[in-house]
Structure 1
Amino acid sequence: MEKSLTLPALALGLSLSAGLLATGLYLKQTALALKASERTVTVKGLAEQDVDANIAIWPIRFTAVENDLPRLYDTLEQKSAKVLDFLKQQGFDDSEISLGLPAIEDRQAQGYADPNLKYRYTAKVTIALYSSQVARVLETRRQLATLAREGIAIGGNDYENRTEFLYTDLNAVKPAMVQLATENAREVADKFAHDSGSHLGKIKSASQGQFTISDRDSNSPQIKRIRVVSTVTYYLTD
């Protein structure tokens, strides 16, 4: 009776051991396969492109001084009319030009009057030009001597008076630049895979960085440099 019970128990134990061993081997192989599938390389691809600005914003500022306030307003009107005529002669229309209100300062109302002060009132006027005719704006800036001959001194190229150039057609270049950034990333990944004795597999994940637009250099702000970086993770295979 005891012998007949021992043999089936022994057989059952051997069967369980074999099953556990097989399961262990399977799990080990599965773990190795999963580990191999997680071999990846993450690379970045850069794309840059230079484009011409398509919008120019030019603040044209001039000043006038007087001791008589009504006469000061007359002077401002005369100078403003000359600037407006000058811009229209250069090919700009009314929709591109806006005349701001004059900023007038009464120096005697400041609580301290300089005895050597020659003029009581000083005024600043800004005429803003917002135009898509960028080349025409650049050429017009070179013609400012015409206004100087009319007795109108336009402010220099400091921060307040500088012309701002914009590029607003980013959607036109986005697709090609994203493609180029991705191609550059793949070239880097291919080189890494080759050097490590592997082959490049499928893309695991990819992300596109922000597009940035900046001046190409300080001397030509009308030329913009667009830049984007894509980050791509590839699987590696043997």
Structure 2
Amino acid sequence: MEKNNILPALLLGGFLCAGLVYVGHTASTALLQMKAMERTVTVKGLAEKEVKANVAIWPINFTEVDNNLPKLYETVQQKTDRVVAFLKEQGFSDSEITISLPSIEDRQAQGYVDPNVRYRYSAKVNLSVYTPQIDLMLNTRKQMISLVKEGIAIASQEYDNRTEFLFTDLNSVKPVMVQEATQNAREVAEKFAKDSDSRLGKIKTASQGQFTISDRDNSTPYIKQIRIVSTLTYYLND
């Protein structure tokens, strides 16, 4: 009986070993295929574009002084009206012009009075122009010097008083720039694949970077440079 049981047991053992070998071979083949699929290259694609700002925020400030407060108010009102009239003459509308209340300073109310100060009251007048008419704004800013003849000294474009230029139509250029960044990344990846004797496969992952908008240079802040960097990972095939 024992001899008769040995043969089936040997056959069963043989089948099990063959099955394990087959499973091991299949698993190793699958692992090799998975390993091959893990061969990737990660590249970055750049797209840049220069555009003209489509909105300008232009602050216009001037200061008046006097020892007579009612007279100061009257002068401030007259000169403010003149500046507004000048802006309208150039082509700006009421909706583009904003006038803030003047800031009045009583220098004698500060406790210490500088004997060299000739005028007690100082009024700072703030106007601003919010406009999409960039060329008109640039030209008008050059003409502001003519107001000096009328006794209105417009403050210079200092750091905290400079014109701000904006580009608010990013959606109009987004699709094209994303496409350009993707194409640029693919060109880089294809070059890498060629140099490594591989073929470029499908995209594994893609990440669209943030759009950045900056001045092209300090001299022309109304010209903006838009930039995006996309990151893509491609599979590499033999």
Q: Distance in 2 between matches of 1:63 and 1:104?
A: 10
One-letter amino acid matched to 1:146: S
Choose 98-107 or 3-12, whichever is displaced more. 3-12
After TM superposition, give the deviation of residue 53 of structure 1 in Å. Answer: 0.3
Residue 3 in structure 1 maps to residue 10 in structure 2: no
- Pair 1:60 & 2:77 matched: no
Unaligned runs of 5+ in 2: none
Structure 2 matches for 1:1-238, cutoff 5 A? 1-238=1-238
Q: State the AA in 2 paired with 1:69.
A: L
C-alpha displacement of 1:160? 2.4
Q: Secondary structure at the match of 2:161?
A: coil
Letter in 2 for 1:153: A
In structure 2, how many angstroms separate the alpha carbons of the residues matched to 1:94 and 1:54? 19
CA–CA distance in 2 between the matches of 1:150 and 1:33? 84
Tell me, which stretches of 5 or more residues in structure 1 are unaligned? none
Deviations 1:106-144 (A, max 9, x none): 000001011222000001001110000000000001101
Distance between the aligned counterparts of 1:199 and 1:93, measured in 2? Answer: 61
Distance 1:52 1:73 in 2: 40
Deviation digits for residues 11-55 of structure 1 (CA, Å, limit 9, x no counterpart): 111111111011101100010001111111111100000000000
Provide the rounded CA distance (Å) in 2 between the counterparts of 1:147 and 1:226: 37
Structure 1 residue 205: Cα displacement: 1.1
- Identical amino acids, percent of aligned pairs: 63
Q: SS state of the match for residue 153, structure 1?
A: coil
Q: Give the structure-2-normalised TM-score.
A: 0.99
Q: What stretches of structure 1 move > 2 A for 4+ residues in a row?
A: none
> Match of 1:177, as an amino acid?
M
| Superimposed CA distance per residue, residues 78-97 of structure 1 (whole angstroms, 9 cap, x where no aligned partner) | 11011011101100010100
**Shift, 1:2, TM fit:** 2.0
1:60-81 Cα shifts (integer Å, max 9, x gaps): 0000000000000011011101
Secondary structure of the residue that 2:119 maps to in structure 1?
coil
Give SS of 1:65's match.
Answer: strand
Give a deviation string over 1:171-217, Cα, whole Å, max 9, x none.
Answer: 00000000000000000000110011100001111110111111011
Q: Aligned AA for 2:56? A: A
State the AA in 1 paired with 2:118.
K
Following superposition, the deviation at residue 7 of structure 1 comes to: 1.0
- Quote the Cα distance in structure 1 between the aligned partners of 2:13 and 2:167: 78
Aligned residue for 1:48, secondary structure, equals strand
Between Structure 1 and Structure 2, how many residues are aligned?
238
Output the CA distance in 1 between the equivalents of 2:59 and 2:201. Answer: 55
